[in-house]
Amino acid sequence: MIYQYTEINMLRLTIVFIILTFLSACDVGDSMREASKKNPTSHARVIAADSGCMGCHAVSVTVVGPAWKLVAKKYKDDPGAKAFLIHKIKKGGKGNWNEMTGGKIMPAHEDRMSDEDISKLVDYILAL
């Protein structure tokens, strides 16, 4: 199914993007970071918020980048998915989700995120 961009849909997408960008810009306090380490799901969300991932991604809704549930579904039975996604987050890229993103480029994050954080985030995404 091809998604048609109407003015109303573009307005909705813009509003969602603005809200998600605003929410992702909110600082996560140190106490929240420490508490999240006891819960892998919460910790992955803190990593995503701290790294700016939520400016382009959401769990269930495609914003600029694909919804993480769609990523999990696409790579569900792929044994090389974790390594591929870790590489994609580190190096960035384009072309895997053109039908949804219009060819937007995902920037590299290797200077912004540790290997451990990227691995935890990928585990979280694939578990959705």
pTM: 0.69
Which one, of 124, 127, 126, 113, lies nearest residue 43 by Cα?
A: 124
89 falls within a domain: yes
Q: Mean pLDDT in each 10-residue stretch from start to end of the chain (128 residues)?
A: 63 76 59 60 87 91 93 96 96 89 90 94 94
pLDDT the model gives residue 124: 94
Tally of domains within the chain = 1
28 falls within a domain: yes
Q: How far apart are CA 44 and CA 46, in angstroms?
A: 5
pLDDT the model gives residue 35: 57
pLDDT the model gives residue 26: 56
17 falls within a domain: yes
Q: Please tell me whether residue 8 adopts helix, strand or coil conformation.
A: helix
51 falls within a domain: yes
85 falls within a domain: yes
The whole domain housing 27 covers 7-127
1 falls within a domain: no
Q: What is the CATH number of the domain that holds 41?
A: 1.10.760.10
102 falls within a domain: yes
pLDDT the model gives residue 29: 59
39 falls within a domain: yes
pLDDT the model gives residue 61: 92
